[in-house]
Amino acid sequence: MLAGRPLAGLTEDAWQAARANWRSFGTALAVAAVGAVGALAGPAGAWAVAAVGLCAVLLGSAAAIAWRQRA
């Protein structure tokens, strides 16, 4: 499951960059980075990296949306 996350994230990056959707591009790039780090963390550590990393990505994305709506 975790092995496909970097590839899926990079595929989404290319798609969002082509559409000039920069917030989604950054989110997909962060998901790819979390997947790459998770792949290096080992079997048990991969779940921890995925949980903490994806939580941080989603919180960052929500903060970016709130910041844009505030301005």
Amino acid at 9: G
3-class state of residue 41 by DSSP: coil
CA distance 8 to 26: 14
What's the confidence (pLDDT) of residue 5?
A: 58
Residue 1 banded pLDDT, cuts 50, 70, 90: very low
CA distance 9 to 15: 10
Write out pLDDT tens, residues 8-57: 666 766 776 667 777 777 787 788 888 888 888 888 898 899 899 999 99
What pTM value is reported for the model? 0.71
